[in-house]
Amino acid sequence: MSPEAFLRTIYENPEDDAPRLSYADWLDEHGQTDRADFIRVQLELARLAEDHPRQPELLRREETLLAAHRAEWLGELLQLASDEWWPECWMFHRGLRALDLYFNHIGDEGLRALASAPHLASLKVLKLNANDIGDGGACALASSPHLAALTELNLDGGAIGDEGARALAAAPHLATLAELDLCEHAIGDAGARALAASPHLAALSKLHLQENAITTQGKAALRARFGDRVSL
């Protein structure tokens, strides 16, 4: 089986460890023992309780492997970051399930590149706060079919206005979101009404909209839809 076939099987079965373990065996057979070891370490960490006696040993091994190979394993994703990127912010969990790109000056152009990456199909958590994202970036996220597994999206701090809010509200690919952070943007009442009327945001348990341009009318629409699940 080719590496691409292994990865495709993993993406299609994100909760199943068996394809990951098979891929680790293949990596061992092809001289990539550290990457194989990393996969097995992370799978074991995901299964163990936080107070399990093997946790410290496994965490040390995980950090040693990441220190040696983080940039290599991130590959083309590094091209999305600025010269000021912080390596420690790029996290792995059972592969790539959560991605934290806080304060990397990604902007709308970088976000369009990120949203077009098919390798993010199993991503659950995406944190993009403080990245100068505006309506163009929000529209790119909303139209991406590769982010359909997201349960948490953090866009705190930027220039998203009503256009971007309407795009996010109309995105069927974001129907699995449980938490959406849109604090400190330029969203007004039109964007607030669009979010409140969205049929795709029914799974939201937390919607953060503090520090926007939403007036009393927009806040009323949001509270009528989301109740105490929205922070204004």
pLDDT in tens, 106-127: 899 999 989 998 878 778 899 9
Out of 3.30.450.20, 2.60.40.10, 3.40.190.10, 3.80.10.10, select the CATH number for domain 81-231: 3.80.10.10
Output the six-digit token pair for 179.
């938490």
- In DSSP notation, 165-206 reads HHHHHT-GGGTT-SEEE--SS---HHHHHHHHH-TT-TT-SE
Sorted by where each begins, the domain ranges of the chain are: 3-75, 81-231
Question: Distance between CA 10 and CA 18 in Å, rounded?
Answer: 9
H or E, element range at 231? strand 230-231
Q: How far apart are CA 103 and CA 187, in angstroms?
A: 21
pTM here is: 0.71
SS3 98: strand
Is the alpha carbon torsion for 178, 165, 139, 127 positive or negative? negative
Per-residue pLDDT in tens (0 to 9) along the chain, 232 residues: 888 888 888 877 877 899 999 999 999 999 999 999 999 999 999 888 889 999 999 999 999 998 898 878 877 666 655 555 555 555 666 657 788 888 888 899 999 989 998 878 778 899 999 999 999 999 999 999 999 989 999 999 999 999 999 999 999 999 999 999 999 999 999 999 999 999 999 999 999 999 999 999 999 999 999 999 999 9
